[in-house]
Amino acid sequence: MFCPQCGKEVPGDSLFCTYCGELIKDPIDEKKKQEKTKADSNNEESKMTLFDKFAEIHDSTGDQREKYNALISPAAWTIMNSLANNDLEKILSKHEELKQESYAFVKALLFALQLSYPGGYRLYLANRLLYKQKLSVFEHVPSEEELRKELQKIDFNIEYAKIGMDARMIMDNYCSFRVTSLFESYPEHQKRLDTKAVEALKAEVLGGIIWGYFLAQIEDRYRK
C-alpha cells in the first residue's frame, strides 16, 4: 500500500503514513467497511436454500467429499448398498421384461438405486448444516444390527409426513434427475419398457432417497 500524499510504501494495516503523517485509513470508515462485509456475508448465507446446500454437498469433490462421506458410518454404507440390491431384485421379479434388457442397462439401474440412498442421507445433512446445526463425530459408531433394528421401527407414513415440503420437493426432483440420467444413457430401453415398469423404477428410486434420509436421522442419535 502507498501513501496518497507522499507516495511512499507503507504497511497494509497503517492508519497514518510513517513518513509524512498523512491519514491513510479512517478507523471509523474501516470499521464500517468490516461490518458491511460481515453483513453481506451473513446475507449471502441467509439466502442459501436447502437445495443450494444439498447441491454443495452432493457435488463436492476431493477432501470436501471425503469430509461429508465420513459423516456416514461404515454400517450405513453397507445397509444402503444392501437395500439397493434388494430393490433391484424386487423390480426384476415384478417386471420380467427388465430381465430381457442388456446387462449394461441392469447394471446402470442398480447404480441409480445405489445413488438414491446416499442422496437422501446427504439431503438430511444439508438440512442440518443449513441451519448451522453442528454435525459432530459419532459418540458411539452404530453397528449394522443396531441400524437395521431402528429402521424396522420406523412407520414410513408418519415419518415421511414430518419431512418439510422443501425437502420433499428436492426428493422428487432428485428422483427425476436420477431416472432421467439413466434413460438419457439408454434411451432405447425407455421406449421398450411399459409405463408400469418405468413408474416402478421411479418409486424404488424415490423410496431409496426417503429411506436414506431416515437412516441419516437415526445415525444422528449416535453423534456427540
The answer to whether the CB of 21 falls within 8 A of the CB of 29 is no
pLDDT band per the 50, 70, 90 thresholds, residue 136: confident
Q: Which of 13, 29, 47 is the last residue of a domain?
A: 47
Q: What is the mean pLDDT of the chain?
A: 87
DSSP letter, residue 163: S
Q: Which of 10, 27, 47 is the last residue of a domain?
A: 47
Are 64 and 34 contained in the same domain?
A: no
Please give the pLDDT value at position 45: 47
| pTM attached to this predicted model | 0.78
Most confident option among 22-26, 64-68, 76-80:
76-80
User: What residues make up the domain containing 94?
Assistant: 50-220
Are 30 and 88 contained in the same domain?
A: no
Are 96 and 139 contained in the same domain?
A: yes
Are 37 and 63 contained in the same domain?
A: no
25 forms beta bridges with none
Of the candidates 42, 64, 43, the one whose C-alpha atom is nearest the C-alpha of residue 122 is 64
Between 100 and 32, the more confident residue is 100
pLDDT digits (tens, 9 = 90+) for 141-180: 999 999 999 999 999 999 999 999 999 999 999 999 999 9
Are 192 and 155 contained in the same domain?
A: yes
